[in-house]
Amino acid sequence: ENSPAPLPERAIYGFALFLGSWFGFMLYLIWAYVPETWLFSLGLTYWPQKYWAVALPVYLLVAIGIGYILLFGINMMSTAPLNSTHTITDNYAKKQQQKKFQEEAIPALRDIPINEVNRMFFLPEK
Amino acid sequence: SLSAATSAVWLAAYGLFVLSQNSMVLSAAIFITLIGLIIYLHFVKIDQESLLVIGSLGIQVTSSYASGKESTTFIEMSRVKDVVINEAIHMQKVIYYLCILLRDPGDPQGVSEVVPLFQSSKPRLDCLIEVYKSCQEILEQRKTAPQSS
């Protein structure tokens, strides 16, 4: 079953991820800062150009910044315009079936059409 | 807004004039602003919007622009299902707007189209409720009216 409780397996996964991320970070620092000649003298020659040690974080940050603007734009584009029927109804409401009215029972839940809602809100006079 | 656009165009023209020392830039900017103002008044700026509901005939929507041009749209009563106040999201706000629901020929309960009204004056809810009540009074009479022979 699924429970959010801390289990021994989860503690081990967490620690493995912690060690892995520390190792990855140290590897990145070594690659970015240690001069190429020292790495060559150790025999490690097949590493990517150090240009990428600066380029990749910049790419990532610019992508995150553009992502904010992109998400805002996508939201605005998918908002239904004022003259579309999506502001009033949708497929589920069109296909809903009328349930039989039972005496002394709470009426079944359904999507009430907009003209009835308007009548209830705006028409009755005090 | 109009004054912001005019000021921006004139400041840019003055900047160009200072750079190029050519006074044609200033005359061109004034000319462009004049033409732009005329286009704006004739095609964009709506002075008045009105709604005429005749129970047996239909609904007529008139917009009159600042230059005097009037554009009207007429919708026959047989196409009109109802006039309602709808809420929708518009430019990071939720607004109330009056709209005409048109009947769907294939589906008696369905709505084929929504025609929003008063799009440039966008009155507030208390004003919309008054208009809604008047429209509903007229629309109810068409149900009790005699059927067309």
For chain A, domain boundaries: 8-78
For chain B, the structural domain boundaries read 2-45, 48-144
Contact B86 A88 (CB under 8 A): yes
Its pTM stands at 0.74
* Separation CA B128–CA B133 (nearest Å): 9
B109 in A contact zone (CB under 8 Å): yes
Q: How far is CA A119 from CA A87, A115, B56, B127, in A?
A: 18, 6, 22, 16
Which two structure tokens, joined as six digits, stand for A57? 């974080």
**Nearest chain B CA: its distance from A86 CA (Å):** 10
Query: pLDDT per position in chain B (149 positions), as tens?
Result: 788 888 888 888 888 888 888 888 888 888 989 998 999 999 989 999 999 999 899 999 999 999 889 999 999 999 999 999 999 999 888 999 999 999 988 888 888 899 999 999 999 999 999 999 999 999 988 877 655 54
Contacts with A36 (C-beta within 8 Å, 6 or more apart), sequence order: A50
A88 in B contact zone (CB under 8 Å): yes
Contact B84 A123 (CB under 8 A): no
Question: For A51-95, what is each residue's pLDDT tens digit?
Answer: 888 999 999 999 999 999 999 999 999 998 999 989 998 888 888
